[in-house]
Amino acid sequence: MDKTREITVDEFPAFCRAHGLKCTAQRLAVFAAVRMSTEHPSVDATWAAVRKQVPTITRESVYRILNEFAALGILSRLDALPAARYDTWLGPHAHFVCEKCGKVIDYPLPDGMALPKGMPAERHHVELRVSGLCDACRGKSKLQTNQKRR
Amino acid sequence: MDKTREITVDEFPAFCRAHGLKCTAQRLAVFAAVRMSTEHPSVDATWAAVRKQVPTITRESVYRILNEFAALGILSRLDALPAARYDTWLGPHAHFVCEKCGKVIDYPLPDGMALPKGMPAERHHVELRVSGLCDACRGKSKLQTNQKRR
DNA sequence: CATCCTTTTGCGTTTAAGATGCAAATAATT
DNA sequence: AATTATTTGCATCTTAAACGCAAAAGGATG
């Protein structure tokens, strides 16, 4: 089985059973929210989406569930400031991170991109991160003047 | 001039003059601390080192100075949890980040590694991040059992 | 070298992310 | 339907990071 393949929402209950997890409404809704989003949502963004389905869920549960999922490997965690973001694309890929608005855009890695020699073999997550200004932020003159340019 | 070249501590006063910054003892000590370290220090680690030279400096000043330096481009900021880390190696390179102890190890990028097509051109920082367990943490059996393995 | 002016620092305070402990609630199994 | 281990919600705590402002210090000028 390909560990980098994203599982679908339909497959989620079986995933829970296979890992001895209860398939709660909270877990399902959190997984579906991240799986369906293309925005690499933060905890709070995920919480906002999940509350529409499960109004009683707390932010703390979203934290716990997202980190649990990251530890189990069905989603990846992108350490970013001010807040970590989550993603279900598990294969090696590149992230463009806008320094102004925080937007994250995915790119596939070039074919045949090799890791540097000497890197530990049992890697969990490969991430090429490029930061700068996204098109929207670059277009805004007001933001441009605030942003230090080189 | 190569913008990815690290400036030396000796060159720092000239750098300040060129950018209209006052060359204060605080700025010099913060720069020297990160420049001399191979540990990718966090704000607090930098603060601890700088206090030996400038005992009165506050953590807030270290925050401000490090972020100012990152904005000016003489050091790079590595967004990591629980705290951001700073580095003076400005050229493209890879970071191995230990998921257990947070240790960061630098690797040069393989020759000819191309960026994915469509990435914004005016990039500020290219980072290949690989996470997993460092040798020290992998060697500790106690940690190994705590760590979920896949 | 003394003065002036701008920048920077230190201090107090604030916001927000993330984690934790425990009792109540709930899913899975019999 | 009852049982049991897991999970959630709630309250609380810790720490990273940022901000506003008055005091202090750097750097230029006469």
Residue B117: how many other CB atoms lie within 10 Å: 8
Residue B25 included in any domain: yes
Instruction: Specify whether A82 is located in the same domain as A121.
Output: no
Mean pLDDT for chain B?
A: 81
- Per-residue model confidence (pLDDT) at position B147: 25
User: Alpha-carbon distance A104 to A101, whole Å?
Assistant: 9
Q: With bands split at pLDDT 50, 70 and 90, how would you rate the model's confidence at B141? A: very low
Q: Please state the domain count of chain A.
A: 2
Residue B2 included in any domain: no
Q: CB–CB of A116/B109 below 8 Å?
A: yes
Q: What are the chain A neighbours of B84 within 8 Å (beta carbons)?
A: 81
**Taking CB atoms and an 8 Å limit, are A148 and B71 in contact across chains?**
yes
Structural domain of A73: 12-86
Instruction: Specify whether B100 is located in the same domain as B71.
Output: no
Type of residue numbered A126: V
A–B CB contacts, 8 A cutoff, strictly below: 117
User: For residues B62 and B73, which has the higher predicted lDDT (pLDDT)?
Assistant: B62
3-state DSSP of A34-86: HHHCCCCCEHHHHHHHHHCCCCCCCHHHHHHHHHHHHHHCCCEEECCCCCCEE
Neighbour-count burial for A92-125, b at 16+ CB within 10 Å, e otherwise: bbbbbbbbbebbbbebebeeebebbeebbeeebb
The integer distance in angstroms from the CA atom of B4 to the C1' atom of C12 is 39
Q: What share of chain A is helix, strand, coil (3-state, %, to 5)?
A: 35, 15, 45
- Per-residue model confidence (pLDDT) at position A94: 83
Partner residue facing A124 (CB), from B116, B120, B131: B131
The domain that holds A54 is classified in CATH as 1.10.10.10
Instruction: Specify whether B82 is located in the same domain as B111.
Output: no
Q: Which nucleotide is nearest to B61 (CA to C1')?
A: C9
Instruction: Specify whether A21 is located in the same domain as A80.
Output: yes
* Residues belonging to chain B: 150
Q: What are the chain A neighbours of B123 within 8 Å (beta carbons)?
A: 130-132
Please give the angle made by the CA atoms of A91, A95 and A100, to the nearest 5 degrees.
160
Residue A4 included in any domain: no
Tokens of A118: 């000497």
- Per-residue model confidence (pLDDT) at position A149: 20
Q: With bands split at pLDDT 50, 70 and 90, how would you rate the model's confidence at B20? A: very high
- Nearest-by-CA chain A residue for B82: A79
Residue by residue, pLDDT tens for chain A (150 residues) are 566 678 999 999 999 999 999 999 999 999 999 999 999 999 999 999 999 999 999 999 999 999 999 989 899 899 888 899 999 888 778 888 877 777 888 877 766 666 666 666 555 667 777 777 777 776 643 333 222 222
User: For residues B146 and B38, which has the higher predicted lDDT (pLDDT)?
Assistant: B38
Which residue is closest to C10 in terms of CA–C1' distance?
B58
Q: What are the chain B neighbours of A103 within 8 Å (beta carbons)?
A: none
Residue B128 included in any domain: yes
pLDDT, tens digit, for every residue of B77-126? 998 888 999 998 887 788 888 777 778 888 877 666 666 666 665 555 67
